[in-house]
Structure 1
Amino acid sequence: MTILKIDSSISGETSVSRILTRSITDQLAAASPEAAVVERDLVAVPLAHLTERGQDADVLQEFLDADTVVIGAPMYNFSVPSQLKAWIDRIAVAGKTFQYGANGPEGLAGDKRVIVAVSRGGFYEAGNSFEHVEAYLKPFFNFIGIEPEFVRAEGTAVGPEQRDAGLAKGLAEVERLAA
């Protein structure tokens, strides 16, 4: 089993999404001690904006080789960080992760589990017109054949107490992943 951990927060190791991805990855690795964990830090080693196909083929292969993908997705200005978008552009490849058939697009990557750790400074209930993290990632992963799971920590910029409460709620959701 291979676990791919993707981090995209610019906030370093104290980042809520990084704490959540580390917790998720640790839990998955503990449940499968034989698992190999591959880590990609999109801030430490950023990907350039997409210019043409064929660049960074290793990024696509890393994704294809993973059984489980754990993604840290902090909300920046109501959406995903540009670092994460650059990664997504590398894995959205016709003929590899999706194809167009007689009935429209067909996902080809449905043989893996994707867990997204979302951190948000405010509170964004379902249907909030400003929430474009889950609203973007869910249909994207559905497009390539995956039903993603989400772990959420909200209110992390409201104040220290709320940050702690939001992180505690997110970590509690991580615990339920294995249940």
Structure 2
Amino acid sequence: MTTHALVLTSSILGQQGQSIALAEHFKQRAAGRDDVRVTERDLVAEALPHLEAAELSSWQLAVDERTAEQRELAARSDRLLEELRAHDLLVLAVPLYNLGIPSQLKAWFDRVLRAGETFRYTEKGPQGLLEGKRAIILAARGGQYAGTELDSQTPHLKAMLGLIGITDVQVVYAEGLAMGHKDVAMTEAKQAIDGLVERL
């Protein structure tokens, strides 16, 4: 069975970004597999605007009730949802900016975390509607934060993925990149990626 992987990059440093290097390594290893197909979306090159009320309200109307402008606004999210649904594996290459995720990645999540589309509210709380998908987080960080109170990024990403039903999440960390550990950290992270690709 073919695995369809959607790779999202969000580094403002382009090819100089270490999260981009991790994504490239994943793509190179996946290219060696006949049963893996990769789609990439660069959320910086194809930046989404911050979510505003007009776009949010367009989702809440029936299709035949939308104005031309509202149809255009809703189509932005609809395209991303269609792309996400078409893939089995989501790969997030994520730098750490001020202890959080890049705003470009948040703008993507703001459009795929949609009530009635990717999750629904029940009497017991929200229920994800995209169950059966997997995710890999490739986290590149200048400092060493994993497992500490300062790592708010990992729980945030896992919570957003869990909201839509993606609970099978693997995390690869490349940390201490600005602390003299870059070569070792990147080598170990790439080895971890190799293992994950082998098990796809």
User: What TM-score results when the alignment is normalised by the length of structure 2?
Assistant: 0.81
Q: 1:34 to 1:173 in 2, by over 3 A?
A: closer
Matches within 5 A, 1:29-178: 29-31=31-33, 33-51=34-52, 52-53=55-56, 54-56=74-76, 57-126=78-147, 128-147=148-167, 148-159=169-180, 162-177=181-196, 178=198
Q: % of aligned pairs identical?
A: 37
- Using the TM superposition, give the Cα deviation of residue 47 of structure 1 relative to its aligned residue in structure 2, in angstroms: 0.5
d(CA) in 2 for partners of 1:79 and 1:136? 8
Whether the 8 Å contact between 1:25 and 1:70 is mirrored in structure 2 is no
Q: Residue deviations 1:55-110, cap 9 Å, x none?
A: 51211211111111111111000010101100111110112211112321111112
1:14 paired residue among 13, 16, 25: 16
Whether the 8 Å contact between 2:30 and 2:37 is mirrored in structure 1 is no
Compare 21-30 and 62-71 and name the one that shifted more.
21-30
Q: Which has the higher helix share?
A: 2
Query: What RMSD in Å do the two structures reach over aligned CA positions?
Result: 1.6
Aligned pair count reads 175
Question: Residue 83 of structure 1: SS of its match in structure 2?
Answer: helix
- Using the TM superposition, give the Cα deviation of residue 38 of structure 1 relative to its aligned residue in structure 2, in angstroms: 1.6
- Using the TM superposition, give the Cα deviation of residue 140 of structure 1 relative to its aligned residue in structure 2, in angstroms: 1.3
- Using the TM superposition, give the Cα deviation of residue 43 of structure 1 relative to its aligned residue in structure 2, in angstroms: 0.9
Please state if 1:28 is matched with 2:30.
Answer: yes
d(CA) in 2 for partners of 1:149 and 1:135? 12
Question: Residue 73 of structure 1: SS of its match in structure 2?
Answer: strand
In our comparison, the structure showing a higher alpha carbon Rg is 2
Structure 1: where are the runs of 5+ without partners?
none
Compare 71-80 and 48-57 and name the one that shifted more.
48-57
Q: Residue deviations 1:102-141, cap 9 Å, x none?
A: 3211111122111110011001131x22212102101111
Structure 2: where are the runs of 5+ without partners?
57-73
> Which one-letter code corresponds to 2:122 in the other structure?
G
d(CA) in 1 for partners of 2:35 and 2:172? 24
d(CA) in 2 for partners of 1:151 and 1:39? 18
Question: Residue 166 of structure 1: SS of its match in structure 2?
Answer: helix
* Structure 1 runs, 4 residues or longer, greater than 6 Å off: none
d(CA) in 1 for partners of 2:88 and 2:185? 28
d(CA) in 1 for partners of 2:30 and 2:170? 14
d(CA) in 1 for partners of 2:37 and 2:102? 26
Compare 68-77 and 169-178 and name the one that shifted more.
169-178
d(CA) in 2 for partners of 1:17 and 1:155? 13
Whether the 8 Å contact between 1:69 and 1:114 is mirrored in structure 2 is yes
Whether the 8 Å contact between 1:80 and 1:132 is mirrored in structure 2 is no
